[in-house]
Amino acid sequence: MSKEVIVVRGNNTLAGEVQASGAKNSALKLMAAALLGQGASVIRNVPDISDIAVMSEVLQRLGAVVDRDGHAMSVDTSNVDKFDTPYELVSKMRASISVLGPLIGRFGKAMVAMPGGCQIGARKIDMHLVGLESLGVEFEVDHGTLIASTPHGLHGANVTLEFPSVGATENMLMAAVVAEGDTVIENAAREPEIADLCEMLNSMGARIEGHGSSSIRVEGVPLGDMHPCEHTTVGDRVESGTFLVGGAVTGGPVTVRGITPDFLRMAIVKLQAMGCDVECGDDWITVSRSGPLKPADIQTLPHPGFPTDLQAQFMLLASLADGMSIITENVFENRFMFAAELMRLGADIALEDHHAFIRGVKGLEGAPVSSTDLRAGATLVLAGIVADGHTVVHDIHHIDRGYENYCEKLQALGADVERRAE
């Protein structure tokens, strides 16, 4: 397959309506959760993106039958008889480790390759392991593979996470639902995708309360009480936030439908602080701007704080604001690689440790740039839309990991963007 680039013609405005896809970070875990209910679960509103294809491969390798019909996906786990996920899959997508919790729940054991370091920081899994160990799981590492066993069964426990890690909360939840006794996870992650996962687990027979708060209580049920279910994935707040930034940076108005505005509370506060008008309904958000962009101070934090997955997009806004903005990255180390690409387009950014100091410039100029990760890639396309001249965005396989039909959606908003062979 030849590599592709996205060619963007600039000096453009985005305006109109766009439908949010289902949340990538939810759907991946909902697919893993299906392992706990023997039979065919149906998950709706699943985005058609390459990360979902990798999770389908992970499940198929375990023996599941995965079928897609548009955005509906059936995951039949009746004949799952394997419990290992090899490095070739974990190295393609780190979120493959989300099968660890449900495999332990289903088989009492699992073998999952250790994820390597990741471009956006060390991304350790120590909290996943500490959390699962408190439920009775024992781990060994053999030639890069994590081997989990439960010689004394799975039992409930009270656990306080050191940091509200999304992945650790999810892996613990998917084992705790079938542990003997009750589990309480304190300092649990509060991301909307966690609540979505708990809703699905509850429709499969689990007994979880408090999801959406930092204290989640689980009353363990026997594995045999878990059954398949039908569930609809929540809208993708990061994809939605990306289109809202597209509206904000070009003036808009851009309306995103299929998204719960509350999921984007802090991003909306920052859009308003930066001079945008934002209107919300039950499941839509509209952004527009008539005055200049104002600078802002933004710190990424676990939900409901400002999401790290919108940091690059807001760096683009800040780079065109009237004054100096400061962005502080608190969730991942090393998540400023994007800044160098934005500087190629003329942005004025100084990095110091986990702070970025962004002095707004009058305009950006088109140039060849590379996607350093999926959010950076999507943002570089937006930067190209507002820049003067042509921008060519390379390494767009990153964008395909998390954005369904990104070019088509942008074209419908009036962008002049096109995929081409490199």
Binding residues for ligand UD1, per CB under 6 A?
25, 28, 95, 121-128, 163, 165-168, 308-309, 331-332
CB closer to ligand UD1 out of 259 and 413: 259
CB closer to ligand UD1 out of 187 and 391: 187
CB closer to ligand UD1 out of 192 and 384: 192
CB of 303 to ligand UD1, least distance (A): 7
CB of 115 to ligand UD1, least distance (A): 9
CB of 153 to ligand UD1, least distance (A): 24
179 within 8 A of 154, measured Cβ to Cβ: yes
Torsion of CA 294, 299, 304, 307, to 10 degrees: 90
Strand partners, 357: 326, 350
CB of 25 to ligand UD1, least distance (A): 3
CB closer to ligand UD1 out of 216 and 345: 216
Which residue's entry shows tokens 């060849």? Answer: 368
185 within 8 A of 161, measured Cβ to Cβ: yes
304 within 8 A of 267, measured Cβ to Cβ: no
Task: Tell me the residue ranges of DSSP E strands in 210-294.
Answer: 215-219, 230-232, 254-257, 277-280, 284-288
47 within 8 A of 22, measured Cβ to Cβ: yes
CB closer to ligand UD1 out of 20 and 345: 20
* Both structure tokens of 218: 């689980």
Nearest-angstrom CA–CA distance, 317 and 315:
5
CB closer to ligand UD1 out of 284 and 332: 332
CB closer to ligand UD1 out of 125 and 317: 125
CB of 23 to ligand UD1, least distance (A): 9
CA atoms within a 13 Å half-sphere pointing along the CA-CB vector of 147? 6
118 assigned to active site: yes
* Both structure tokens of 49: 């993106």
93 φ, ψ (degrees, to nearest 5): -150, 115
CB of 304 to ligand UD1, least distance (A): 11
The full DSSP string for 29-75 is HHHHHGGGSSSEEEEES---SHHHHHHHHHHHHHT-EEEEETTEEEE
Task: Tell me the residue ranges of DSSP E strands in 233-276.
Answer: 254-257
Please, is 112 exposed, middle or buried when counting C-beta atoms within 10 Å of its C-beta (0-12, 13-18, 19+)?
A: buried
CB of 119 to ligand UD1, least distance (A): 12
DSSP state of 418: E
Nearest-angstrom CA–CA distance, 47 and 242:
16
CB closer to ligand UD1 out of 85 and 391: 85
CB of 88 to ligand UD1, least distance (A): 18
Nearest-angstrom CA–CA distance, 411 and 299:
31
Active site residues: 118
